[in-house]
Structure 1
Amino acid sequence: MDELRIGIVGLGNMGGTYCGQFSAGEYKRCRLTAICDSDAQKLEAANAGDAKRFSDAREMFESGLIDAVIIATPHYAHTTLGIMALEKGLHTLVDKPISVHKADCERLIAAHTDSSVVFAAMFNQRTDPRYIKLKELIDSGELGKINRINWIITDWFRTQQYYSSGGWRATWAGEGGGVLLNQCPHQLDLWQWLFGMPAKVRAFCGVGRYHEIEVEDDVTAYLEYADGSNGVFITTTGEAPGTNRLEIAAEKGRVIIEGDDLQWLRNEVPTSEWSKTCQGGFQKPAQWEITIPAKGRGPQHVGIIRNFIEAVLDGKPLIAPAEEGIHSVELANGMIHSADIGQTVNFPLDGATYEAALKKKIETSTFVKKVDESAGKAADMSSTY
């Protein structure tokens, strides 16, 4: 194959952005040949050149006009459309999260039976130089054993109008969660990508703490690993201006990512070794102050789509295989479930148990959402942050 023919399903904020990128010539050796949305106005307005317009995804998948598809719809449809696309033999790129809950992730992943079909996820933060360099430090052993992780990611501020702009937003039936399912899949993916999956979590979720919504908009979670290391993950959409600070305490010092670059206060002697051999009671090991430059944020969404195209045409390894998307969903599910039952939750999470709990939430919900009709139907089909 010399040229990849791509379709996009869902023309909200992200799908519309992808259309514009194709029209602007961001991607080589490919063409946007089809787009799909149930909203006729969005189909008409889309910046997609002469791409064929479809109102039905199955019809587009069976049209013979595409070799690959980008799915940028609201969350629950990621599973159903992803399965449909994979069963049709289409190379598939699913926006985050790959599914709402672990059981659906397992169903989606099980549909990927043909290894020649490329299946990727939109975890664009994996292209950020800061996190790439941190992963290199961890994987090389330069930091030594990690003892503690703190991530405060509270710069997701959203207004009530944001939540009122679409009926699916911040509801159990429409989105399957709040800040953990919408804003934080990237950070949860990075957490497991960098540090692996914990053994257990105890979380506290504020449901509608700052907004008139029925899902979590404030989370504090404690995560514990099998080797005794631990971490705290704090997030919300209710604080302004908010903070984005990742701090890692390891045997060979402390690394902080806050803004540009990595700040590494490096121990000349590992902490545990110094503790056992130092003859004094209060002295700390000598340290080096190291700045590891990591300017910019990398190619982000464009980088993931380019990588997807190269994986199909050239066999290049994926930056973000979709199968790895189950881990961020499992972390989000585990945190919500822990808060719901008021107990520590062990990993791996029982997907069926969580699915049943989520269904019960939907069935018993009495929340009546105020939707700003002036925002129009377009907001209902947006896959946004």
Structure 2
Amino acid sequence: MEKTRFGIYGYGKVAELHAKALAASNAATLVSVCGRDQEKASRFAGRWGIPARNSPAEMAGQDSADAIIVTTPHPLHAAHAIESLQAGLHVLVEKPMALAVKDADAMIDEAASRHLTLGVISQRRWYPSTRRLGWRDETYYRSDPWRGSWTGEGGGVIVNQAPHQLDLLAWFLGPVKSVYGSWANVNHPYIEVDDSAVATVHFASGALGSILISNSQKPGIYAKVHIHGSSGASAGVQTDGGAMFIAGMSGVLEPPFNDLWTIPGQESLLDQWKREDAEYFSKIDPTWHFFGLQIEEFTMALIEGRRHAVTGEDGRETVKLMEGIYRSQAKRGLVEY
């Protein structure tokens, strides 16, 4: 089978991880890189033995690229994804896909109008511990250091550290109906954005969610997502240890694991799953392995002409949660979608 040809937009730490994942792929290959700083792009290209281009259009025209992974700073994701779609490339964009729902909609519309695939990176969906929750239906439950400015980052802990967990919450519970939230800068006076946030969320499924996000505590809050069913059964996953994993800079302290599971008949499985997940984690490089699993799934979806596991519409739900908290504080009221 001929490999699908990928370019990478961006040349930073996350781009390196995607390059490693592509190098290990059976279905995809890295053919070129582009970015605003040609010197940095050229250094990245030299490390991977590929050419550096000026634009996605050049990657499509000169390298016959089929798809591109957008790894640039998140305030640029929407513009760079749309630019890539306009060049005729399928797009897999890093999280968050955008900072505003209107920008996410523009990306989705651009992809649809060109009959191209738009996917959003959410590699934590491929953790064994999260997949135990993600595939289950309603009946089952019945039983990078950031720069700290609004102009540079578009937000703080909400858009930098929380998107993966917000994505999982929407994956488990469905489309977001409304958000009532508030944020604060508790103890980071040298930045202007949020370091803590709380929110209450209503989902179209009828589920009710509560969110606490913070990097102002010591020790840090462990990243967890817990689901409680209508009959009281509960399931949960700890996706990140007390020290936030920063791509290419800090290590993962412990593997993700299911920390809560009271589904009748399965309560005794927690210890077994934790052992299995720790063994699995010890045999891989977790910095890029799960990127690789998503890239492989995205590539096979392109080849087979089917829906990718994490679509632009899925990424939009995460944007609704992020935007909803900021808008709710600004208007001092409920934000409905």
Q: Indicate whether the TM-score tops 0.5.
A: yes
Give the C-alpha shift of residue 73 in structure 1.
Answer: 0.6
Match of 1:143 among 137, 141, 144: 141
**1:126–1:319 CA contact under 8 A, matched in 2:** no
Match of 2:219 among 230, 241, 247: 241
Pair 129,60 (structure 1): closer, same or farther in 2 beyond 3 Å: same
Paired letter, 2:237:
I
Give the C-alpha shift of residue 79 in structure 1.
Answer: 1.2
Match of 2:150 among 172, 182, 200: 172
1:122 aligns to what? 121
Pair 215,140 (structure 1): closer, same or farther in 2 beyond 3 Å: same
Return the alpha-carbon distance in structure 2 between the equivalents of residues 62 and 341 of structure 1.
47
2:251 aligns to what? none
Which one has a larger percent helix, Structure 1 or Structure 2?
Answer: 2
Deviations 1:305-353 (A, max 9, x none): 111222223335422122321110011000111122222222x1xxxxx
1:329 aligns to what? 319
Deviations 1:207-254 (A, max 9, x none): 364352221110111223467642211111222332223333221423
Deviations 1:59-100 (A, max 9, x none): 334435312111111123211221122122212111111111
Pair 247,314 (structure 1): closer, same or farther in 2 beyond 3 Å: closer
Give the C-alpha shift of residue 174 in structure 1.
Answer: 2.1
Question: What's the TM-score once normalised by structure 1's chain length?
Answer: 0.71
**1:6–1:30 CA contact under 8 A, matched in 2:** yes
Return the alpha-carbon distance in structure 2 between the equivalents of residues 116 and 227 of structure 1.
29
1:192 aligns to what? 170
**2:179–2:202 CA contact under 8 A, matched in 1:** yes
**Aligned counterparts, 1:11-26, within 5 A:** 11-22=11-22, 25-26=23-24
Give the C-alpha shift of residue 303 in structure 1.
Answer: 0.8
What SS class does the counterpart of residue 112 from structure 2 fall into? coil
| Structure with larger RCO (C-alpha < 8 A, sep 6+) | 1
**2:60–2:88 CA contact under 8 A, matched in 1:** no
What SS class does the counterpart of residue 141 from structure 2 fall into? coil
Flag structure 1 segments of 5+ consecutive residues without an equivalent.
146-157, 164-168, 269-287, 349-385
Flag structure 2 segments of 5+ consecutive residues without an equivalent.
239-255
2:236 aligns to what? 256
Return the alpha-carbon distance in structure 1 between the equivalents of residues 72 and 324 of structure 2.
24
Return the alpha-carbon distance in structure 2 between the equivalents of residues 40 and 126 of structure 1.
33
Give the C-alpha shift of residue 58 in structure 1.
Answer: 4.1
- Tell me, yes or no, if structure 1 residue 84 matches structure 2 residue 86: no
Return the alpha-carbon distance in structure 2 between the equivalents of residues 193 and 289 of structure 1.
23
Pair 321,131 (structure 1): closer, same or farther in 2 beyond 3 Å: same
Number of matched pairs: 305
Give the C-alpha shift of residue 115 in structure 1.
Answer: 7.1
Match of 1:290 among 248, 268, 275: 268
Identity of aligned residues (%): 25
Return the alpha-carbon distance in structure 2 between the equivalents of residues 30 and 245 of structure 1.
32
Pair 222,9 (structure 1): closer, same or farther in 2 beyond 3 Å: same
1:202 aligns to what? 180
In our comparison, the structure showing a higher alpha carbon Rg is 1
Question: What's the TM-score once normalised by structure 2's chain length?
Answer: 0.80
Pair 262,63 (structure 1): closer, same or farther in 2 beyond 3 Å: same
Match of 1:220 among 198, 210, 222: 198
Return the alpha-carbon distance in structure 2 between the equivalents of residues 4 and 254 of structure 1.
41
Return the alpha-carbon distance in structure 2 between the equivalents of residues 220 and 49 of structure 1.
42
